[in-house]
Structure 1
């Protein structure tokens, strides 16, 4: 598992460096990728951790992009190793007897891939607040709490088991933006405001490229370094800021975060296609047409004066950061 901070350019660099090492690379937008280096260790004469160090050196030396590398026997442990500490390192989980259990021991249950805030709260309410306690719990107990399928899946993961293969893919045609809060944000109103800023930025970029999106992905990152990602198809292909913002709000509100300590939110417009080949639903609402006309005006202003931020008044003073 490799992650790189720095936006789309850094993500492209990460994929390029990984594919120089192995053809088995699974892109995980916006900033991560899984790579199976089983077939590369003999060719390069290095073990997996050594290849992780080589990846970091190449990315830094050739492109001035730092990345974090997690090395383990399966994707679950590699993901957790990559997020187990500050960015910019190679962290390995050994494959020997007991090494996975030692790595997982004492970690919050929310650190397991697939455990969102709601599931974590359910487990914590019953005292299963760490990975080792979840691993020690009887399977029937966990299944009564979470359901048969999810209970078995998460208990297996608590034992460090993950049979999921690395599936080579091409990065989807998408564009994204993210916002990192100065401190963990509890106020849903401020999170909505950040999402509106991201929707406005995505809409502007899509319209500038004459593209529309068929789907939208929201990623929410928390103070415990866990994250939740949700995707939904849009009712119709669009680059219209209000439509993107409405979908972002719906994704956010469906998570029912309540008192979650959110450190960052990211939006990614998915499955892009040319705007010329798509239609849109006509409306008799004059306000909708006025908003579209206003968008075209602000787009021309932004194109002429790139340093000038033009958009909803509620975004005044809120920084925008691309992903």
Structure 2
């Protein structure tokens, strides 16, 4: 049984503030504890174990204090998950669109009950394809995944993935909160000037984001293994979808193709979209990435043109060149 001492804080409404305030809000958490990990663009993890005695309060009360201070100093409310480890604190906010504090039980029975009905794609690293595969075996809920015989999971997932997901389904996460740990992700966001209903304009925004992500990844000599799309609506609710790329890449067309696939799969019709964001995950050095050689001359021409465009940007500025049809610089209203 682990002591509840980890907060996963999601700051609400930052998309309406044009990206301002995240660092200030993270510093607000650092007033409580030095063990804080920033999770851009709108969240943070904090281990308040050492603060419990100092403030003579439990973690739930400290979470309430975070909300009060964020509102008083920055006009921003929070959704806070409180649990014994980072995984459970994150899962406490699954399906929570508004402000509040949600506490995961400390005892094993309470943790199992909390996890039982969560969908398996709430677990980190479970994409749409894995979720569909598990659902086909009747393992679409976390509780059923945790209770499944190890041999069954190995047949479905393979030995390594089966062990990892079974541990996650039981709420096991020995990972500490590491202050200042480098984030293996890169995120960009586009905020519309009004609640956007037109899918064509959302595609233009995704083109801008994929272009920006690709340029920044290539400039840092990195590739991404997966992409996460977040759609934020007018009522501040969000939808998030994640999928692995076919291969680690920083190639803008590959990033855009997956971003469009994730967006189209949402089936948004008359949704009033306030912002869209892309996050590249699983970053690694480009010189260590393997790439399937292409026999398509057009693909090689696109890559050479991409390299030339990158050189022009570095020389004349990021806005000097870019794909036709993009919706302007990410992070600014269209």
SS in 2 for 1:248: helix
Alpha-carbon distance in 1 for matches of 2:185, 2:157: 33
Q: Give the direction of change, closer, same or farther, for the CA distance of 1:152–1:65 in structure 2 (3 Å limit).
A: same
Give the alignment's TM-score, normalised by structure 2: 0.67
The equivalent of 1:165 in structure 2 is 176
Give the alignment's TM-score, normalised by structure 1: 0.69
Alpha-carbon distance in 2 for matches of 1:227, 1:164: 23
Please give the per-residue CA displacement for 1:120-154, whole angstroms capped at 9, x wherever unaligned: 11101111111111112111101111111111111
Q: Does 1:266 align with 2:278?
A: yes
Q: Does 1:143 align with 2:132?
A: no
The equivalent of 2:42 in structure 1 is 31
Alpha-carbon distance in 2 for matches of 1:52, 1:92: 10
Alpha-carbon distance in 2 for matches of 1:92, 1:137: 26
How many residues are treated as equivalent by the alignment?
286
- Is there any run of 5+ residues in structure 2 with no aligned partner, and where? 1-7, 232-236, 269-275, 285-300
Q: CA deviation at 1:194?
A: 3.4
Q: Which moved more, 1:21-30 or 1:225-234?
A: 225-234
The equivalent of 2:222 in structure 1 is 215
Matches within 5 A, 1:67-146: 67-146=78-157
Q: CA deviation at 1:201?
A: 5.7
Q: Of the candidates 224, 234, 256, which is equivalent to residue 249 of structure 1? A: 256
Q: CA deviation at 1:41?
A: 0.5
Q: CA deviation at 1:64?
A: 1.6
Alpha-carbon distance in 2 for matches of 1:41, 1:54: 12
Q: CA deviation at 1:215?
A: 3.4
SS in 2 for 1:9: coil
Q: CA deviation at 1:72?
A: 0.5
Q: CA deviation at 1:156?
A: 1.7
Q: Give the direction of change, closer, same or farther, for the CA distance of 1:258–1:198 in structure 2 (3 Å limit).
A: closer
Q: Which moved more, 1:68-77 or 1:108-117?
A: 108-117
The equivalent of 2:70 in structure 1 is 59
SS in 2 for 1:21: coil
- Given that residues 38 and 45 in structure 2 are in contact (C-alpha distance below 8 angstroms), is that contact kept between their aligned partners in structure 1? yes
Please give the per-residue CA displacement for 1:143-185, whole angstroms capped at 9, x wherever unaligned: 1111111111111221222222212225669974224897999
SS in 2 for 1:314: coil
